[in-house]
């Protein structure tokens, strides 16, 4: 499973990409606003730091506007930037046009198998089911990932990747991988949780203590 960072903070992208595990980055208008940076300059810098797909979201809600914005972004930004478009009727129409032009689309705000299937058939490169937001409604977001993967397994013509989004916990990441999701976009805090385990810390402490003992014996 590809591991993406869900952030528009340059320092966070620098940190996670330095570990050599980062497969891509997803951004959205909210993340860009929180970062305090200029939209295009921020995307440009992130694309320089991470060679994988960088999702940049359009602001228009009509097909013509989405297509126009997407074309402009592809002209101004690095080749690894892909276009993030919401799953609406206008978004599907725009995705169909853009995919025929060779412009990769990440279809976002997906909450059902039907939306995921329509996105794939429209030519989206990634489809992003929002796990956490489904959980917020008291439903099971991971069930949607399982259902989409089942649909994908039943249709060999689908090449669109399932990108688990709105990740809220380490369990979301691990279960997405176990269910066969192609990618997950993960907040920085959860990236930190992924590497930590109390037994690892205990093991390191023991190794260091044993090494100190060996050195002390050698000096005796």
Active centre residues (catalytic): 84
Closest CA to 127 of 153, 103, 150, 95: 95
Mean pLDDT of 74-82: 95
Give the distance from CA 178 to its chain's centroid. 17
Tokens matching residue 30: 């909210």
d(CA 184, CA 164): 4
**Superfamily for domain range 2-219:** Aldolase class I (3.20.20.70)
Tokens matching residue 45: 């810098």
| DSSP H/E element including 116 | helix 113-122
Q: Is the separation of the CB atoms in 106 and 128 below 8 Å?
A: yes
Tokens matching residue 24: 């891509």
185-204 tens-digit pLDDT: 999 999 999 999 899 888 88
Classify residue 206 as left (phi > 0), alpha (psi -120 to 50) or beta.
Answer: alpha
Residue 80: CA atoms inside 13 Å, Cβ hemisphere, count? 16
Residues linked to residue 85 through DSSP beta bridges, in sequence order: 107
142-183 tens-digit pLDDT: 999 999 999 999 999 999 999 999 999 999 999 999 999 999
pTM of the model: 0.92
Tokens matching residue 104: 């990769």
| For the chain, domain boundaries | 2-219
């Amino acid at each position: 499973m590809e591991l993406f960072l869900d952030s528009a903070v340059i320092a966070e992208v620098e940190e996670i990409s330095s570990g050599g595990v980062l497969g891509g980055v997803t951004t959205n208008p909210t993340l860009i606003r929180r970062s305090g940076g200029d939209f295009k300059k921020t995307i440009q810098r992130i694309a320089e730091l991470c060679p994988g797909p960088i999702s940049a979201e359009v602001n228009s809600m009509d097909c013509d506007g989405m297509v126009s914005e997407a074309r402009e972004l592809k002209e101004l930004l690095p080749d690894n930037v892909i276009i993030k478009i919401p799953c609406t009727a206008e978004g599907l129409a725009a995705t169909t046009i853009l995919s025929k032009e060779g412009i990769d689309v990440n279809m976002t705000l997906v909450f059902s198998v039907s939306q995921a299937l329509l996105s794939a058939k429209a030519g989206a490169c990634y489809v992003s089911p929002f796990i956490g937001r489904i959980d917020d409604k008291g439903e099971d977001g991971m069930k949607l990932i399982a259902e989409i993967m089942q649909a994908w397994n039943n249709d060999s013509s689908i090449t669109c990747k399932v990108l688990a989004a709105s990740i809220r916990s380490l369990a979301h990441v691990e279960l997405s991988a176990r269910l066969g999701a192609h990618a997950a976009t993960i907040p920085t805090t959860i990236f930190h949780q992924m590497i930590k385990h109390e037994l690892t810390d205990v093991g390191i402490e023991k190794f260091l203590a044993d090494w100190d003992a060996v050195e002390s014996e050698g000096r005796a």
